[in-house]
Amino acid sequence: MAKFLLLAFRNVFRNRRRTLMTLFMVGGGVAGLLLVGGFFARMFWGLREHTINSGLGHIQIFTADHFNRDEVRALDTGIDNWRQVAATVKTGGHVRGVAPRIEFYGMVSNGDKSSVFMGTAVDPVAENGLGFFPTTFTSGHDLDSKSGGEVEALVGAGLAKSMNVKVGDGLTVLSMTSDGALNGVDVEIVGIVDSGVAEMDARSLRITLPAAQRLLQSDRVTNLVVGLDKTENTDQVAAELAPRLRGLPQQLVLKKWIELATYYKQVRSLFSTIFVFLGIIVFFMVLMSSVNTLLMTMFERTREIGTMLAMGTPRAWIVALFMLEATLIGIFGAIVGVLAGNLLGVLLNHSNLHLPPPPGFTVPMSFQVLHVPSLMIGSSLLVIVSLALASILPAIRASRLQIAEALAHV
Amino acid sequence: MFSLSEGNDNWNPGPPSRFILPFPPLIRFSNPSSGNPCTFGMTTSIFRMSKDAPEKERPMEELVNVEAVSRRFPLDNIPTHHPAHSFVSALSNASLRVSAGEFLAIAGPSGSGKTTLLNLIGCIDQPTTGRILVDGVDTSKLKPNGMTTLRREKIGFVFQTFNLIPVFTAAENVEYPLLIQGIGSRERRERVAEALDSVGLSARAQQRPDLLSGGERQRVAVARAMVHRPALVLADEPTANLDTQNATQLIDLMHGLNRRLGLTFIFSTHDARLLEHAERIVRLCDGQVVSDNSTEGGSRG
Ligand SMILES: Nc1ncnc2c1ncn2[C@@H]1O[C@H](COP(=O)(O)OP(=O)(O)OP(=O)(O)O)[C@@H](O)[C@H]1O
Ligand SMILES: [Mg+2]
């Protein structure tokens, strides 16, 4: 059997030029998949971290009723004893911080003109404790939790533009209280926010938690946002937290970031589909061109196969030999491809290239690829299987040769 | 088809036509006016010299029995206005018995059916009619697997074009028949060394075929054909790609192995000079056995 493997191995390197071309093609396919897949993986990673760190957090806690809520009266389904819940969560491992938030909606007006807003009320100190990306301001500064006088507000760049306001200007915020009455508060704009997502910035408004609670006439919060040390720990922490939240009077629900990151999931599924499609293309490209090459090889070796068959080699051995040779080419091609793909990846990561901003984003993206082991294994298996399949037809043809004719073949 | 063949022969006396057509053949390979190619070498001194050979004592155990064998090949590139079933007859009604230990040459001009006959004896091809017994086994009753096994165990092949596996060294080539028989590596090594030694190529064992001369390659092929101790070695024109000196050496080598080990050889050649080395010469012409010097003394006188 070792000799048989040796025979296959040496046969692979018999026609060096042809083998090199096949290796080039197979390796190119694998390297291409690694680069594209590595870029996508890096993009998913970037989007994930961006999504989590620009506010989503790793885990959010809601009441169970929140998901059947009446959107206008936001706090009807809020968390009552949120300070206690937050304290409980904070004692868990890997938890960096817990921040209470209120999500509310309403109208904002500058006197001339009004617009719909999506509001978030935050505790600036707790928010900072989450360890997320600092908010980027086009002008102004963050909310100050201790300020006593005027109610401070941050507005998105788009909203500021449409309302025609700048830092220092005032706006009137209107929203519905828990008991259904309309309430309003005058706010002073202290900062204009550029989150990088244009659609968010067109509607976003942020005020402090106490201000919002006064506006909405409630002590509750909508949700608690939990920040962890690392995204990879999300599942573990969620599993540990769930039972600890069960003892509380209100029935709470724990949502991991992935359950809340709709855009991330859409992007991921779109690009995964593109990648699968690319994989299929590479698979068939390798399959088609190798069938041809392998048939040529088989044809050239007709007399040799005839000789082996004449000497009493079982036909199944000939099939096995040809398939083994092709599989070896696949393995070598995969090795070449993985090496080339990783090398190119390293070069790319060092070249500091930038791509135009992805859809919905305003900042350019750096062209980086990740080295993903599962991609290396997957694309290697893909080409190896492709070559093994490509060899079936030539292998069967070789094994079915008429010996006398094959021996007379020149 | 057989009766048509006879009809055709009756209609066209002279050398039997190799075409069996319901019509007179349009093309004739052996033109009667250019002399009968089958008389080639018939009356040379080589022929008479080799008449002495049957005197030698040889084991009488029958190894090969070719019984009235015919082999016809369908002709597919026949003009369309001809009736569908047309054949070329490579061998017609040939009979031959070979005993164990013989050193037999099959002679005949090109196209006389030498390769066809050797292929049939070697279980590479099957007769259209008649049957062939190899070592007591009726090969026409064998299934493809049985034929493969028979070839693997009982027959060694030497080819005109050497046909060594180019990526294997001389030793590995010789090892191959043992490999496919599943013989253990230790025994393989011993037998390969022995076989290479018996063809005088121990020193070249690790050489790849492309670095060997033609004569050396064919000696490796002979070692490969005998390493598994087959009952019979078949060699179709083993010397056709060798110069005279190497050709003579190769035949001598095979003859030596035949005498020393009692190995049965059947080889074909159309080189008259090599026939003086053969003990028995069977001549083929147009697919028929036209002479056999082992039966010569009795039947023809
Ligand atoms: N597969 C085949 N199909 C058609 N005709 C064939 C086939 N094999 C052999 N023949 C024909 O049968 C006849 C005998 O062929 P064969 O090869 O046995 O002759 P040969 O004595 O070996 O000739 P050579 O000395 O040229 O090798 C030839 O006329 C040949 O054309
Ligand atoms: Mg021939």
Question: In this predicted model, what pLDDT tens digit does every residue of B251-279 receive, in sequence order?
Answer: 999 999 999 999 999 999 988 878 888 88
d(C-alpha B72, C-alpha B76), whole Å = 12
Which residues in chain A are contacts of B148 at CB distance < 8 A? Answer: 309, 312-315
Provide the pairing of β-strand A137-140 with A182-193: antiparallel
Measured distance CA(A63)–CA(A246) in Å, rounded: 11
Instruction: Provide the b/e sequence for A172-196 (b: ≥16 CB within 10 Å).
Output: ebebbbbeeeebebebebbbbbbbb
* Residue B79 maps to a domain: no
**Stretch B273-291: mean pLDDT, rounded?**
90
This prediction has a pTM of 0.80
Q: How many angstroms separate the CA of residue A323 from the nearest CA in chain B?
A: 17
Closest CA to A377 of A343, A344, A349, A337: A337
Contact of B114 with chain A, judged by CB distance below 8 Å, is answered with no
pLDDT in tens, B215-237: 999 999 999 999 999 999 999 99
Residue B160 CA to ligand 2 centre (angstroms): 9
Find out whether B269 and B103 touch, Cβ atoms under 8 Å. Answer: no
Which of B154 and B8 is assigned the larger pLDDT? B154
Q: Residue B205 belongs to what domain range?
A: 20-72+92-294
Cβ atoms of residues B209 and B217 within 8 Å = yes
Nearest-CA distance from A319 to chain B in Å?
14
Integer Cα distance of A34 and A231 in angstroms:
24
Asked if residue B108 is part of any domain, the answer here is: yes
- Identify the pLDDT of residue B6: 37
| 3-state SS, residue B10 | helix
Instruction: Say if strands A59-63 and B62-74 run parallel, antiparallel, or are unpaired.
Output: unpaired
Structure tokens of B227?
A: 């390493």
The CATH number for B34's domain is: 3.40.50.300
Q: B4 pLDDT exceeds 60?
A: no
Tell me whether residue B4 is in a domain.
Answer: no
What is the block-wise mean pLDDT of chain A (410 residues), using blocks of 10 residues? 88 91 93 94 89 88 82 77 88 89 90 90 88 83 74 90 89 86 89 85 90 87 91 91 83 90 92 94 93 93 96 95 95 96 93 75 76 94 95 95 91
Asked whether residue B8 carries a pLDDT value surpassing 50, the answer given is no
A11 in B contact zone (CB under 8 Å): yes
Position B41 scores a pLDDT of 40
Query: How many domains, in total, are found in chain B?
Result: 1
pLDDT tens digits, B90-130: 999 999 999 999 999 999 999 999 999 999 999 999 999 99
The token pair at A236 is 């573990």
Q: Would B299 be classed as within a structural domain?
A: no
**Which H or E run includes B292?**
strand B288-292
| B160 and chain A in contact, CB less than 8 A | no
- Residues A165 and B235: their CA atoms lie apart, in Å, by 102
Residues of B in contact with A315 (CB under 8 A): 148
Per the CB < 8 Å rule, is B153 touching A312? yes
Question: What does each C-alpha distance from B99 to B63, B153, B218 come to in angstroms?
Answer: 5, 18, 25
Collapse the DSSP code of B14 into the 3-class scheme (helix H, G, I; strand E, B; otherwise coil) and give the result.
coil
B106 within some domain: yes
Residue B134 pLDDT exceeds 60: yes
Task: Share the mean pLDDT of chain B.
Answer: 80
Question: Is position B146 within any domain?
Answer: yes
B86 domain-assigned: no
Looking at residue B61, its pLDDT comes to 83
| Residue B10 within any structural domain of the chain | no
Q: Where are the alpha helices (DSSP H) in chain B?
A: 2-11, 45-49, 114-121, 144-154, 170-180, 185-198, 214-226, 244-261, 293-299
Question: Phi and psi of A148, rounded to 5°?
Answer: -95, -35
- CA dist A402 and B154 (Å) reads 20
Interface of A with B in 283-322 (CB under 8 A): 303-304, 306-315, 317
